[in-house]
Structure 1
Amino acid sequence: MNPLISIIILNYNGMRFLATCLNSLRKQIYKNFEIILIDNGSTDGSVEFVKSNFSEIKIIKNKENPGFAEANNQGIKVSKGEFIVTLNNDTMTDKNWLENLVEVAQKDRKIGMCASKILLMSGQNEIDSVGVNVCLDGMTRQRGRGEIDKGQYDRIEEVMFPSACAALYKREMIEEIGLFDELFFAYCEDSDLGLRGRLAGWKAVLSPNAIVYHYYSGTAGKYSSFKAYLVERNHIWLVVKNFPLELLFLFPFFTLFRFILQFYAVLAKRGASFQFVKQGSVFTTVGTIFKAYFNAFKKLPLFIKKRRIIQRNKKLSRYEFYPLLRKYRLSFKELTFKK
Structure 2
Amino acid sequence: MNRFSLLTVHWNTAELTLKFIELVMPYVIANDWQLFLLENNSNDAEKKILKEGIEKKGLHKNDSFHLVESDENLGFAGGINLIADHAFQKFPEHHFWVLNTDITIPEETMKYIHTRLELNDRLVGSLVFDETGDRLLFSGASFPLTIFGVQYSKSKKVLPNEKWDTSYCEGSSLVINNFIYKDLTSERKTLFDQKLFLYCEDLELGLKAKELGYYSELDTNLIIYHKHSQSGGGSGNFLAFYYITRNRILLAKDYLSFPVFLFYILFSIITRLVINLVLMSKRNVKVRFAIFRGIVDGILGKTGRWEGHPS
Above 0.5 in TM-score?
A: yes
Structure 2 counterpart of 1:65, one-letter code:
N
- The alignment partner of 2:27 has SS state of coil
Q: Distance in 1 between matches of 2:287 and 2:102?
A: 27
Q: Distance in 2 between matches of 1:258 and 1:24?
A: 39
1:205 deviates by: 1.3
Task: Name the structure 2 match of 1:96.
Answer: 108
Query: Is 1:62 aligned to 2:74, yes or no?
Result: no
Q: Distance in 2 between matches of 1:89 and 1:195?
A: 25
Q: Relative to 1, partners in 2 of residues 1:114 and 1:279: Cα closer, same or farther, differing over 3 Å?
A: farther
Structure 1 counterpart of 2:157, one-letter code:
K
RMSD between aligned alpha carbons? 3.0
TM-score (normalised: structure 2) = 0.79
Task: Name the structure 1 match of 2:297.
Answer: 295
- The alignment partner of 1:138 has SS state of helix
Q: Relative to 1, partners in 2 of residues 1:163 and 1:277: Cα closer, same or farther, differing over 3 Å?
A: farther
* One of 188, 200, 206 as aligned partner of 1:194: 206
Q: Relative to 1, partners in 2 of residues 1:125 and 1:138: Cα closer, same or farther, differing over 3 Å?
A: closer
Task: Name the structure 2 match of 1:38.
Answer: 38
Structure 1 counterpart of 2:33, one-letter code:
F
Aligned identity (percent) is 17
Structure 1 counterpart of 2:215, one-letter code:
K
* One of 205, 220, 235 as aligned partner of 1:222: 235
Q: Relative to 1, partners in 2 of residues 1:150 and 1:296: Cα closer, same or farther, differing over 3 Å?
A: same
1:180 deviates by: 0.8
Q: Distance in 1 between matches of 2:281 and 2:7?
A: 34
1:47-70 residue CA offsets vs partner (Å, 9 max, x unmatched): 331233133310001234221111
Task: Name the structure 2 match of 1:235.
Answer: 248
Q: Distance in 1 between matches of 2:276 and 2:291?
A: 13
Query: 1:154·1:209 contact (CA, 8 Å) conserved in 2?
Result: yes
* One of 121, 126, 133 as aligned partner of 1:110: 121
Query: Is 1:49 aligned to 2:67, yes or no?
Result: no
Q: Distance in 2 between matches of 1:136 and 1:16?
A: 36
Task: Name the structure 1 match of 2:307.
Answer: none
Q: Relative to 1, partners in 2 of residues 1:263 and 1:46: Cα closer, same or farther, differing over 3 Å?
A: closer
Q: Distance in 1 between matches of 2:228 and 2:281?
A: 19
Aligned residues: 284
Q: Distance in 1 between matches of 2:176 and 2:148?
A: 22
Task: Name the structure 1 match of 2:188.
Answer: none
Task: Name the structure 2 match of 1:164.
Answer: 171
Q: Relative to 1, partners in 2 of residues 1:15 and 1:285: Cα closer, same or farther, differing over 3 Å?
A: closer
Structure 2 counterpart of 1:17, one-letter code:
L
Q: Relative to 1, partners in 2 of residues 1:286 and 1:89: Cα closer, same or farther, differing over 3 Å?
A: closer
Query: 1:132·1:163 contact (CA, 8 Å) conserved in 2?
Result: no
- The alignment partner of 2:52 has SS state of helix
* Structure 2 residues not aligned, in runs of 5+: 186-190, 305-311
* Structure 1 residues not aligned, in runs of 5+: 267-273, 304-339
Further displaced range: 38-47 or 181-190: 38-47
Structure 1 counterpart of 2:181, one-letter code:
I
